Amino acid sequence: EDLPDPLTLKDMPKAVARLVEAVRRKEEVLLFGDYDADGIVSIAILKTALDRAGARAGFQVPSRLREGYGLRTEVIEQAAATGIKLLISADTGIRAGEAIRRARQLGLDVIVTDHHLPEEDLPPALAILNPKQPDCPYPFKDLCGAGVAFKLVQALCNRLNLADRYLDYVDLAALGTVADIVDLSGENRIIVWAGLKKIQRRPNLGIQALLKVSEVTNREIDTWLLGYILAPRINAAGRMGDASRGVYLFTAADPVQAEDIARQMQQDNILRQKTQEVIFQKSVEAIETDPSLKDDKVIVVCGEGWHHG
């Protein structure tokens, strides 16, 4: 009951009206998100909620190694070519002015859900949901991407008279909030408190599978576990290979399928740890072989062929 009214987020009424239209038309919607844990759970929240409401939500997560961060004009043009009329960004988009201008030219509506600091010129999207944008009256400014996605789903559920069904996604919102290391005060604290309770009682199948493959049993679910056990395994998917694996995990309806994906992500994380350790040791060797560095307060070490993830 202490969660702020989602309609006080600037542009939320426009965003919800467009989503209701998409639901009524059973329209195909494209979700485009970041490849980190916050982006992955943001997409999962939006996809599950839209699918349950009656829209058809596809998604795309860029490759960290091949494509890099952010919404690009190629994504817009490909979406428009396949007949997509609505794209929703998740944990990204606030600085994608060029891509969103192209979307406008092609008749593709864009709803931005993001929490990063905007530039002076906002992109010409149909709606921008970001509490950090100028003139946004929303009382809490420190939501993560998953938190903003959660507020959009809350507003949509209210509009569709689905009561408190938005709380089905509070465990994912809590996971994204802790993984993105935002301040755990205000609304974030409420989301994480409620999310931890849901994980203890009735977790998302993907969270349950990750807990199982991480061999977390018979212990209290707390923020340390979300931040240091689950989040690295989610991030590893995007760092070492295919971040979309995480979306499939958190939208899985079959526990066997969820566990299979979670085991793949567990292997990604083991590979990430091994790769990181090799780079770390090479860094230490580079520093120790140069005595002149010992008095420097900041040392930057680079190496040919080191893994970008």
Going by the DSSP 8-state scheme, the letter that residue 165 receives in this structure is G
pLDDT, one tens digit per residue, over 31-42 is: 999 889 999 999
Q: How many CA atoms lie within 13 A of 210 on its CB side?
A: 32
Nearest-angstrom CA–CA distance, 171 and 191: 8
Which residues have C-beta within 8 Å of that of residue 309, sequence separation ≥ 6?
64, 65, 238, 239, 240, 272, 275
Residue 52 and residue 68: Cα distance in Å, rounded?
31
Closest to 129 in 3D by CA, of 165, 92, 161, 166: 92
Beta carbons of 120 and 179 less than 8 angstroms apart: no
With contact defined as beta carbons under 8 Å apart, do 47 and 251 qualify?
Answer: yes
For 64, phi then psi, to 5°, come to -60, -40
Distance CA 250, CA 285 (A): 40
Q: What per-residue confidence (pLDDT) applies to 65?
A: 66
Please name which of 238, 231, 235, 230 lies closest in space to residue 213, comparing C-alpha atoms: 230
Residue 240: the pLDDT is 86
Residues 94-146: pLDDT tens digits? 999 999 999 999 999 999 999 999 999 999 999 999 999 989 999 999 999 99
Q: Are 156 and 49 in contact (CB under 8 A)?
A: yes
Q: Which residues contact 153 (CB under 8 A, 6 or more apart)?
A: 45, 46, 49, 166, 169
Average pLDDT, the chain: 94
In this structure, which amino acid lies at residue 288? Answer: E
Separation of first and last alpha carbons in the chain: 40
CA dihedral 46, 52, 55, 57 (to 10 degrees): 40
Maximum distance among all alpha carbons in the chain? Answer: 68
Q: Is the pLDDT of residue 67 over 70?
A: no
SS3 297: coil
Residue 284 CA: distances (Å) to CA of 14, 278, 299, 300, 301: 53, 10, 11, 11, 9
In this structure, what is the dihedral angle of CA atoms 48, 53, 58, 60, given to the nearest 10 degrees? Answer: -50
Q: Is the pLDDT of residue 69 over 80?
A: no
Q: Which amino acid is at 5?
A: D
How far apart are the C-alpha atoms of 147 and 159, rounded to whole Å? 18
The tens digit of pLDDT for each residue in 193-242 reads 999 999 999 999 999 999 999 988 778 899 999 999 999 999 988 888 78
Residue range 256-269, pLDDT digits in tens: 999 999 999 999 99
- Beta carbons within 8 Å of 285's beta carbon, 6+ residues apart: none
Mean pLDDT of 57-65: 85
Structure tokens of 22? 């998409």
The residue behind tokens 């559920």 is: 157
For the cut 90, the answer to whether the pLDDT of residue 189 exceeds it is yes
CB-based contact 56:22 (threshold 8 Å): no
By residue count, the chain amounts to: 309
Taking the C-alpha atoms of residue 211 and residue 175, their distance in angstroms, rounded to an integer, is 12
In the structure encoding, which two tokens stand for residue 244, read together? 């979309």
